[in-house]
Amino acid sequence: MHYGNGKTTPCEDVLPNQISTCSDLNTTAFVDRMIRVENPDLIIFTGDNIYGFDATDAEKSLNSAFAPAIRSNLSWAAILGNHDQESTLSREGVMRHIVRMRHTLSQLNPPVSDAPDIDGFGNYNLQIRGVEASKFENKSALNLYLLDSGDYSTVSSIPGYGWIKPSQQFWFQQTSLKLKNAYMKKPQPQKDSAPGLAYFHIPLPEFASFDSTNFTGVKQEGISSPSINSGFFTTMLEAGDVKAVFTGHDHVNDFCGVLSGINLCYAGGFGYHAYGKAGWDRRARVVLATLEKTEKKSWGAVKSIRTWKRLDDQHLTTIDSQVLWTKTSSGRRRKRIQSGL
């Protein structure tokens, strides 16, 4: 969102006739519109929630940025980008403020017993359990991994952005394995792990694997990934449960491409106090998990995961609807996750 100081913070890269009336409040209005039209079960903010240098009071800017989610009384979660800590709070301070806000599911980090030396702030797992009274009510049917991809390299010989560190990858591996083992236990043991989705801010180097022939959406700038490859894509590939990754960071890329069975997706440029492209509508991504219907007319495991984007135009136009993952089954129940704000 790149939220600044509200009404006094100007927009970037908008049409000339929008400049005089455009501010952070346009970002707020877009969040409100998305919530009304989608009525999601969960809202996920993918970092750079505030734009530090232009936010004179970090706590006040964070409160304003997340206000639409809070007043909607919906559950929401956030991770950090590379700009959140540039105002009056440290990176840890920003995340500590977020986890104290109303209706948030955000967590500072896993319990020390699970990850005593984990890097970053805002590494956590959200488990979406099955429907009450079904055989999946005590199992996580969909696992969300949210990670802190850092801000900038702290190694003098390595320039550029930060990356997901070995300690975070180890936590991810252990969490994925634990969830997989729980999913395969009675009642209703499953042959495979529950599908997972991963959210972090800075795209992996593997996002550069695509061209216009093998992705859905647009690529209008280079991939601003770390200058080294920390191997997290391979780590996810070996774990086997992550079906899609959603990142922010590159504002005028909004594509999804699949690599070795994992969808690599941009959430879509959202905030108005952030670079964009004049005349190219701000946008947000929606993810829809659909449950299968069992023979006993109960709800089962996740059957499919779909996504689309909405534009901040007059009609909140839907574009680029696509299926990210499917499991052969019958019936459906809908659960929405609105992401990429």
Domain with 71 in it: what CATH number?
3.60.21.10
208 within domain boundaries: yes
241 within domain boundaries: yes
13-53 pLDDT, tens per residue? 999 999 999 999 999 999 999 999 999 999 999 999 999 78
One-letter amino acid for residue 277 of the chain: K
322 within domain boundaries: yes
d(CA 1, CA 4): 9
72-129 pLDDT, tens per residue? 999 999 999 999 999 999 999 999 999 999 999 999 999 998 889 999 999 999 999 9
With beta carbons less than 8 A apart as the criterion, state whether 331 and 293 touch. yes
Order across the sheet with 299-311: list the strands: 75-79, 42-46, 333-339, 283-293, 299-311, 318-326
What the block records as the tokens of 21 is: 């009336």
pLDDT value for 329 = 41
Domain count within the chain = 1
Mean pLDDT (whole number) for 184-195: 78
1 within domain boundaries: no
The pTM is what? 0.94
212-269 pLDDT, tens per residue? 889 999 999 999 999 999 999 999 999 999 999 999 999 999 999 999 999 999 998 9
Q: Which residues contact 94 (CB under 8 A, 6 or more apart)?
A: 49, 50, 58, 62, 80, 84, 85, 121
Range of the domain at 165: 6-339
Closest by CA to 86, choosing from 120, 63, 119, 58, is 58
Rounded to the nearest integer, the mean pLDDT of the chain is: 93
95 within domain boundaries: yes
Q: Which residues contact 237 (CB under 8 A, 6 or more apart)?
A: 260, 261, 262
- 3 state DSSP class of 110: coil
Asked if pLDDT for residue 333 goes beyond 60, the answer is: no
142-184 pLDDT, tens per residue? 999 999 999 999 999 999 999 999 999 999 999 999 999 988 8
d(CA 157, CA 334): 48
- 3 state DSSP class of 291: strand
257 within domain boundaries: yes
